[in-house]
Amino acid sequence: METRRITVLSAGLGVPSSSRLLADQLAASAKRQLGDAGYEVRVDIVELRDLAVDIANNFVTGYAAPRLAEVIAGVEDSDGIIAVTPVFSASYSGLFKSFIDVLDPKSLDGKAVLLGATGGTDRHQMVLDYAMRPLFTYLRTRITQTSVFAGPQDWGNTDDGASPLSVRVDRAAGELARLLSGEQPHRKADPMESLPFEQLLAGITAAR
C-alpha cells in the first residue's frame, strides 16, 4: 500500500484556534478519502505559533533551530500541504508568511496544496484568491480548485443537522485526494528499485 504524507500548517494564535479547527477538519476528510482510495496516510500537524521565536531567530541568524529544521524537512518531504491562516489586515498572517519565507522556494515545486483561511467576517474570504493563491502559484505548487474560508457563522449546524462548512471541506479535501493519487511529480523513484532485474543485470554487465 502506497503512503501519502500530508503536512498541515496552522497559523492560528489562540488555543484552540478556529484555524486549527478548520485545519483538523480538512486533514481528517483528506485522510478518509485517500484511505478510501487505497492509500495509507500520514498526517503531521504543525502549529506555527510554537515556532514563532525560532522563525524570527532564523531571519536574524540565518540558522534554523533543531525543531524548526525538523519541521522544514517534514514540509519538504511531504506529498501534500494543507495551509490554514487567520486573516489579518485583509491578508495572511505575518507568522504564516514568515514561515513560508524560511523555506527553500524550490522545495514546494509540484506539491499538492489545499488552502484555508478563517476570519471574523465573510469579506475576508477574498484573501484566498488574492493573497494565498498567488503566493502558492509563485511557488509552483498544485493548488486545489476549491479553497475553504470559515467565518463565525460556519461553526454550527443548520436545522437539519448538516453543516455547510463540512460540504466545502469534503469537496476541497476530495480535490486534494485526487491530486495526491497516482504518480507524484516531485517524487523521484530509486532507479535501483524501479528497473526490472534483467535491466539492472544488463547495466552491471555493460559496465564491466
The three grid cell numbers given for residue 189, joined into one nine-digit string: 523513484
State mean pLDDT over 40-64.
97
Q: What is the number of structural domains in the chain?
A: 1
pLDDT of 159 > 60? The answer is no
Sign, CA dihedral 183-31-173-6, equals negative
Torsion of CA 188, 192, 197, 198, to 10 degrees: 90
Closest among 69, 105, 84 to 6, alpha carbons compared: 84
Domain of 82: which CATH number? Answer: 3.40.50.360
pLDDT in tens, 93-108: 999 999 999 999 899 9
> What is the reported pLDDT for 90?
86
CA nearest neighbour of 20 among 199, 144, 155: 155
Global pTM value? 0.86
- The mean-pLDDT minimum among 20-29, 43-52, 187-196 falls in 187-196
Cis peptide before 134 (omega within 30 of 0): no
Residue 70 domain boundaries: 3-207
Distance CA 64, CA 78 (A): 19
Task: Report, in this order, helix, strand and coil percent for the chain, each rounded to 5.
Answer: 50, 20, 30
Q: Tell whether the model's pLDDT for residue 190 goes beyond 50.
A: no
